[in-house]
Every structure is written in structure tokens, then in C-alpha cells.
A and B are shown apart, each in its own frame.
Chain A
Amino acid sequence: DAGVTQSPTHLIKTRGQQVTLRCSPKSGHDTVSWYQQALGQGPQFIFQYYEEEERQRGNFPDRFSGHQFPNYSSELNVNALLLGDSALYLCASSLHHGGIRETQYFGPGTRLLVL
């Protein structure tokens, strides 16, 4: 059973560029959440997708956008990159119950460096 996969593993971009990160959820999961983890910090919630719609959003600017496909995979797009966007971007998948036990399983992350 494949877990959560993310691509690419590492990425280097320059300020002002745009980046797209990809995530495939764990088999059977239908909900994808994205988190940003700066060095030495805990992950910060960016947004969550379910049924191809953004369901919740954290305190991140509109430069951060996403998409979910019919096969439940997801993309995170960041426009006009800033140095402060350098971080580990984590994708987590879960099964949407609308209830209690929505355990989220994390992928290995994409490490983005903005120069």
C-alpha cells in the first residue's frame, strides 16, 4: 500500500518565479492538506482540498493556490516567490468523515529553496 508521495523532493528557484508541487494521497484517501514547515518550526496549515474544492485555508496570501484532481491528487502553486517561502512543503492525506478520526498521514515533503 503506497503512502503519500510528493514530487519533486528538492527544488531551487529564484525570487519572483512560480513553482508547482505535487502530491498523491495514500490509497483510499480523498482529502489532501498542505503544510509549510520553516526550518526549526512546526508545520503551518496552508489549505485543504476535498471534492476538488478548497475547504479550509490558513493564514497564507493568495500567492498560494492549489488544485485537486478527480483522482484525489493535488498541486500546490506558489507565485511571485519570496525568500521567506523557502521551507519544507508537506502534503497530508486523510479520509473525509466530517467527524472525529481524520488521521492525517504525511508525505516526505518537498524542500524548496528560494534564492
Chain B
Amino acid sequence: QKEVEQDPGPLSVPEGAIVSLNCTYSNSAFQYFMWYRQYSRKGPELLMYTYSSGNKEDGRFTAQVDKSSKYISLFIRDSQPSDSATYLCAMIIPAQETSGSRLTFGEGTQLTVNP
């Protein structure tokens, strides 16, 4: 069983739609949760970073974490064609004294927003 599960899609929506992207995880040690956006042939770029359970909003993006259910979500409001990309959830177990954190990623969801 993978530590982080993410529906790979693909997901296709019309411009202006609300998009919901989700990940589940099995390791309770994960404490920090991120969403990365990756355009074709580019490296991932950080979109949202959350720690506690609850919601965090940044413009059209809302990240939601439910640690009790081991479930995280990313909502995109008023989606735009420029949002077309692969969205990756990622998680971190807090760094130990002598080692750095490492990201554990989901498989990524490919999103297309049609004009």
C-alpha cells in the first residue's frame, strides 16, 4: 500500500468551475501537507503549505486538512485555463535533529480547464 494515495485523473472541467483535488494517507507521522503544481516539462512549484487540521485560503485556492480522517483536499475556485497542470500533494514527517525532511508525494492529478 502506498503511503499517499491520489487519484491520477485526468480531470477535465470548464472554465469557471470549482475543482476539488484529494489525497489520502496512511502514516500518522505526516504532520505537514503541501500542494505542488507542475506544468508540463517543468519542476513542481509550491502552491500551499499547511500544518494543522482545518482550512487555509490563498486567493482562489483553499487547502483543507482532516488529520482524523487522514485526508487532504485542494479546492480551486473560478478555475482558469492557466490552472491546467498536474497537481501533486506532498507530505512531510518533521525533521529529526540530524536529518532533513523528505517529501512523500502522491501520484499527481492531471487537470485540464477548458475555455
Contacts and interface: CB of A to CB of B under 8 A. Distances in A.
B95 A58 contact: no
A42 B100 contact: no
B43 A107 contact: yes
A66 interface: no
Interface string B80-110: 0000000010101011111111111111100
Contacts, number: 79
Contacts of A61: none
Interface residues of B, number: 31
Interface residues of A, number: 33
A55 B98 contact: yes
Dominant SS among interface residues on chain A: loop
A107 B6 CA distance: 23
B48 to A, nearest CB: 11
A45 B103 contact: yes
Question: Which of A42, A97, A100 is packed against the most chain B CB atoms within 10 Å?
Answer: A42
B17 interface: no
Contact of A98 (B44, B49, B97): B97
A58 B106 contact: no
Interface string B24-46: 00000000100010000111111
A44 interface: yes
Given A42-B108, A109-B42, 6 more contacts: A42-B88, A42-B90, A44-B105, A48-B100, A98-B96, A98-B100
